[in-house]
Amino acid sequence: MNINTLQEIERAVTQLSSEELAAFRTWFAKFDAAVWDQQFEADVEAGRLDALAERALQHLQEGRCTDL
């Protein structure tokens, strides 16, 4: 099966059995987490989170944080 568009993917998902849908959900959650992790790592390497990290550390030093 060759699926090329979002609409085709959506249509295919609606045709899954309950068991297949559960397996797809599990697979997609892992896939989505891996993609998010890759993007996060790329953002860290590029320095896009540096300002946020500095701000968080400043808040910690100022006592503006609470323990969880």
The pLDDT value given to residue 67: 84
The tokens for 6 are 């979002």
Give the C-alpha separation, 16 to 22, whole Å: 9
Give the C-alpha separation, 52 to 57, whole Å: 9
Phi-psi region of 66 (alpha: psi -120 to 50; beta: other; left: phi over 0): beta
pLDDT by residue for the chain (68 residues), tens digit each?
Answer: 677 899 999 999 999 999 999 999 999 999 999 999 999 999 999 999 999 999 999 999 999 998 88
The pLDDT value given to residue 1: 65
The pLDDT value given to residue 19: 98
Would you say the pTM of this structure is higher than 0.85? no
Give the C-alpha separation, 48 to 4, whole Å: 33
The pLDDT value given to residue 68: 85
Count helices and strands (H / E) in the chain: 3, 0
